[in-house]
């Protein structure tokens, strides 16, 4: 099939009467209806002076309107989806940093972003939901002429997101039309997506995972995305039964919550018959992957992605060997391992994972220092440490900034996570650094036990000591009902000791 490089080309591919956007309890929006909506949206934006390259911030609840707004606005402008849960000062930072030309908010839904937009002189465009699911109209803005009207070109900006900013000021990541359409094609090829597929989206749509893996790859394949208000473990099986998706994609914490409720929903699982399950955005413990495949009777495909790569970089294959503990084979961009000096390393050697390809951002905005560190000889440095094994599968050993430096001994939190997760009483484990006066850092772990299970810190440390060198065994284990997560459902290692009030 001919490659597409823009959203308008991508939207043109689906059969006119085939479902594109679905939502529980609402009629579907077809691919033909979505194309018409995109055309009207771009014409409407052009009529108020917004065109290619202009940034439109979007603050909408998860659901079909958010998915459709992203697709339709990005067809002729740049989208900047923001977390609706942000507080006023956070909206102030992001809206100013983005230099947004407009803010889209749902009519009748209050958000602190409105007050910030008013203060910054940013027009608010009111989104009015319609029928079918995802249909909307925009109201607001003053008549003006857009300098660059029409559908966007391949190198025009389509989506702009910020890095998480865990250890520094968040960086702006601009992604072009070519970047995001390439990534959607890579995901579609990996998962063998077709017009008969429907993805149940439970991921937030202000994050690269949900936007590209669930929404864009589904539409690119001519299939459908089923839009929910977000992840709710209690509602998941009802949605599975009612909507009958062929697949879903999620982060490991969501899969673990689903797995915990699977036994009592065996009848739903049998009726649903998923074709595949996808996991990304964090490392999935091997035992969880095996339990998910056994429970749902379908492949679980673990993938590796990041914002700067418009999501997918590597993936375990749908057919063939899926190696627990590996994030699979290159699935889009080229992948190599590089040392600190910029030399590419052979298979089996551990170093920094680097990538290059059509889905990779051209660079952070207005940040020459970050770009100088991030790009070496045309390769983008991911900040992840790993190795390519003899078969070319990528094994991650941790985020470089998350590695625990215990008196000069480097400990991979992912390795310790894997060992702790293998204990039959453990549902979740997250290893993190605890500041230490003499060693610099010590190894700590936060653990959630399976329902009804009992385990002491001493028993878990003894178990770990049978599988790990002594310096890798956690010196402190805390048992929690739930491990703190970020807005996208990812577990947060950095700063966890401080957040939990732990010191040694």
Q: Which residues lie closer than 8 Å to 2 by C-beta, 6 or more apart?
A: none
Q: Which residues contact 58 (CB under 8 A, 6 or more apart)?
A: 66, 69, 70, 73, 79, 80, 81, 82, 103, 104, 206
pLDDT of the residue at 487? 66
Query: Given this model, what pLDDT does residue 439 score?
Result: 79
Q: Which residues contact 245 (CB under 8 A, 6 or more apart)?
A: 198, 199, 200, 226, 272, 274
pTM, full prediction: 0.85
d(CA 104, CA 323): 43
CA–CA separation, 155 and 366 (whole Å): 18
| Omega before 132 within 30 of 0, i.e. cis | yes
What is the rounded CA–CA span in Å between residue 295 and residue 78?
A: 41
Query: What per-residue confidence (pLDDT) applies to 488?
Result: 64
Residues 76 and 8: their CA atoms lie apart, in Å, by: 8
Return the pLDDT at 164: 67
Burial tier of 264 (Cβ tally within 10 Å: 0-12, 13-18, 19+): exposed
Q: Which domains does the chain have, with CATH numbers?
A: 7-185 (3.40.50.980), 403-500 (3.30.300.30)
Which helix (H) or strand (E) is 286 found in, with range?
helix 286-296
Q: State residue 1's pLDDT score.
A: 59
Provide block-wise average pLDDT over 10 residues at a time, the chain (504 residues). 90 97 98 98 98 98 98 98 91 94 97 97 98 97 97 98 70 97 98 98 95 98 97 95 97 89 95 96 83 96 94 94 88 96 96 97 95 96 94 87 77 86 92 84 93 93 89 93 78 84 82
| Strand 78-81 versus strand 55-59 pairing type | parallel
């Amino acid at each position: 099939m001919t490659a597409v490089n823009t959203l308008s080309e991508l939207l043109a591919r689906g059969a006119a009467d085939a479902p594109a956007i679905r939502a529980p309890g609402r009629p579907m929006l077809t691919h033909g209806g979505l194309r018409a909506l995109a055309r009207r949206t771009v014409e409407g934006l052009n009529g108020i002076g917004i065109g290619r390259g202009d940034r439109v911030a979007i603050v909408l609840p998860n659901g079909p309107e958010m998915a459709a707004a992203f697709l339709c606005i990005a067809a002729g402008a740049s989208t900047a989806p923001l977390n609706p849960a942000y507080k006023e000062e956070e909206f102030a930072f992001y809206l100013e940093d983005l230099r947004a030309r407009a803010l889209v908010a749902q009519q009748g839904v209050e958000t602190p972003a409105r007050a910030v937009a008013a203060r910054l002189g940013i027009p608010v465009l009111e989104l009015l939901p319609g029928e079918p699911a995802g249909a909307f109209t925009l109201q607001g803005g003053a008549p003006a002429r857009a300098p660059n009207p029409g559908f966007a070109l391949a190198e025009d900006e389509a989506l702009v997101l910020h890095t998480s900013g865990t250890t520094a000021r968040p960086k702006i990541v601009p992604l072009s039309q070519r970047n995001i359409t390439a990534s959607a094609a890579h995901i579609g090829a990996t998962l063998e997506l077709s017009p008969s597929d429907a993805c149940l989206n439970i991921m937030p749509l202000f994050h690269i995972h949900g936007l590209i893996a669930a929404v864009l790859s589904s539409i690119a394949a001519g299939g459908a995305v089923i839009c929910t208000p977000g992840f709710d473990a209690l509602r998941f099986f009802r949605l599975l039964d009612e909507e009958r998706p062929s697949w879903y994609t999620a982060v490991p914490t969501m899969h673990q919550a689903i797995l915990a409720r699977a036994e009592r929903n065996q009848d739903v699982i049998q009726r649903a018959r998923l074709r595949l399950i996808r996991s990304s955005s964090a490392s999935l413990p091997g035992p969880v992957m095996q339990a998910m495949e056994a429970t749902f009777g379908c492949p679980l495909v673990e993938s590796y992605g990041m914002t700067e790569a418009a999501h997918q970089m590597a993936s375990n294959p749908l057919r063939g060997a899926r190696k627990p503990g590996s994030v699979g084979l290159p699935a889009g961009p080229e992948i190599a391992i590089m040392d600190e000096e910029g030399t590419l390393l052979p298979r089996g050697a551990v170093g920094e994972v680097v990538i290059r390809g059509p889905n990779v951002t051209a660079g952070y905005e207005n940040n020459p220092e970050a770009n100088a560190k991030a790009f070496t000889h045309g390769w983008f440095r991911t900040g992840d440490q790993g190795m390519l094994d003899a078969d070319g599968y990528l094994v991650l050993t941790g985020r470089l900034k998350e590695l625990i430096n215990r008196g000069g001994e480097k400990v991979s939190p992912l390795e310790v996570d894997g060992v702790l997760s293998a204990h039959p009483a453990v549902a979740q484990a997250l290893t993190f650094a605890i500041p230490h006066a003499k060693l610099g850092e010590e190894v700590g772990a936060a653990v959630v036990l399976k329902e009804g299970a009992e385990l002491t810190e001493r028993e878990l440390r003894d178990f770990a000591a049978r599988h790990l060198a002594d310096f890798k065994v956690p010196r402190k284990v805390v048992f929690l009902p739930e491990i703190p997560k970020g807005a996208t459902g990812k577990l947060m290692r950095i700063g966890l000791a401080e957040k939990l009030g732990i010191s040694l």
